Amino acid sequence: MNFSTSIGSFLLRLLVLHHLWICLCSSFILDGSPTSFAQFPRWLAGLNGTLSLQFRTREPNGLLLYTDDGGTYDFFEVKLVEGNARLRFNLGGGTAILSAGKNLHDSQWHTLKITRNAEETILTVDADVQKRLTAGPDYLFGNATTNSAVLIGGLPSWYGSKLSLLALPSAFFEPRFRGAVKDVVFASDDGIQKAQELQESQGIRTASLHPQYTPNGEEVLAADDHCEKDNPCLNGGACISTDGGPICDCRATDYEGDLCEQSESFAGSDSVFLASLTVYRLAKGKKIV
């Protein structure tokens, strides 16, 4: 294999991995394990921002969404409580609660949306719309420099030793959401809806948008779901199922290698060309052969 062929092969692999990761971001399944979460960019809600997503689950309880101002007092927390969606939030005037939807753990897709309108906050779940007026110093939600990321399904483990960074520390101890999520979309004061890309995650896999179920309510997995059959990825690496087998994406870990098995600090030399090695380490994932 000559130099140009090697470069082309690794670039193609990187493009395939990037495409698969975008697909993963649009629809994914959280396994509900004690460390599972999906992290999206900060939501700059301003006075008139919106945040929406779709979810599907069979579990009646679990933390669906959390974001705050970095530990002062503003926060939004959405969790399922006995099949209902409950939004708990604070914009500086004290904690308020909105509840919407019923029996949302029916394995069907549901749309959840949070809308800011100055002192009014609106929770919409499918066709159920609930509103609440709250007092506050300015009704703004945090700011662009201190706000946390938007966390779906749970909070990263490192928050366990830094609870002071949370405006609502109890969110860390909530049961994790187990189910599928897709179409995470934010809008700021400008009103422009923007689909958000996944930044970091743990305990997720790709999702089928048209699942089938057994008579007992268990999801029937596709025959080519290699990750579900035998997930080979180690140390928190994300498994992506492809027609040719599983790919381990190590970008959210401190490991590399085919299976995310090798610590970056002790990584040995590779036998590929330097330019190819650079591309590989940017992707931090290789197809398993």
Secondary structure (3-state) at 39 = strand
- pLDDT digits over 153-201, tens only? 999 999 999 999 999 999 999 999 999 999 999 998 778 899 999 999 9
Q: What percent of the chain has pLDDT over 70?
A: 72
pLDDT at 251: 81
Is 202 a member of any domain? yes
Which CATH number covers residue 144? 2.60.120.200
> Is residue 181 domain-shared with residue 52, that is, in the same domain?
yes
Q: Which of 158, 64, 162, 161 is nearest to 114 (CA)?
A: 64
Which CATH number covers residue 270? 2.10.25.10
> Is residue 62 domain-shared with residue 169, that is, in the same domain?
yes
Q: Which of 219, 184, 240, 225 is nearest to 108 (CA)?
A: 219
Number of domains in the chain: 2
> Is residue 53 domain-shared with residue 183, that is, in the same domain?
yes
- pLDDT digits over 103-121, tens only? 999 999 999 999 998 889 9
- The yes-or-no verdict on residue 15 having pLDDT over 50 is no
* Residue 198 DSSP symbol: P
Domain that residue 76 falls in: 28-206
CB proximity list for 170: less than 8 A, separation 6 or greater: none
- The yes-or-no verdict on residue 207 having pLDDT over 70 is no
pLDDT at 212: 55
Token pair recorded at residue 65: 């969404």
- The yes-or-no verdict on residue 152 having pLDDT over 90 is yes
Rounded to an integer, what distance in angstroms lies between the CA atom of residue 44 and that of residue 254?
29
* Residue 113 DSSP symbol: E
pLDDT at 229: 65
Domain end point (choices 206, 239, 262):
206
- The yes-or-no verdict on residue 223 having pLDDT over 70 is no
pLDDT at 156: 97
Secondary structure (3-state) at 185 = strand
152, 181 in Cβ contact below 8 A?
yes
149/243: higher pLDDT: 149
Q: Which of 102, 38, 104, 96 is nearest to 67 (CA)?
A: 38
pLDDT at 177: 96
**Among all chains, which residue has been given the structure tokens 């101890």?**
173
> Is residue 59 domain-shared with residue 178, that is, in the same domain?
yes
CB proximity list for 204: less than 8 A, separation 6 or greater: 24, 28, 29, 30, 31, 36, 38, 153, 238
> Is residue 89 domain-shared with residue 164, that is, in the same domain?
yes
pLDDT at 21: 44
Q: Which of 79, 122, 83 is nearest to 102 (CA)?
A: 83
Is 287 a member of any domain? no
- The yes-or-no verdict on residue 94 having pLDDT over 50 is yes
Q: What mean pLDDT do residues 218-238 have?
A: 67
Rounded to an integer, what distance in angstroms lies between the CA atom of residue 204 and that of residue 213?
20
Q: What is the phi/psi pair of residue 201, to 5°? A: -165, 165
Is 50 a member of any domain? yes
Is 1 a member of any domain? no
pLDDT at 10: 55
> Is residue 231 domain-shared with residue 169, that is, in the same domain?
no
Q: Which of 123, 103, 127, 107 is nearest to 115 (CA)?
A: 123
How would residue 49 be classed by pLDDT, with cut points 50, 70 and 90?
very high
pLDDT at 37: 97
239/83: higher pLDDT: 83
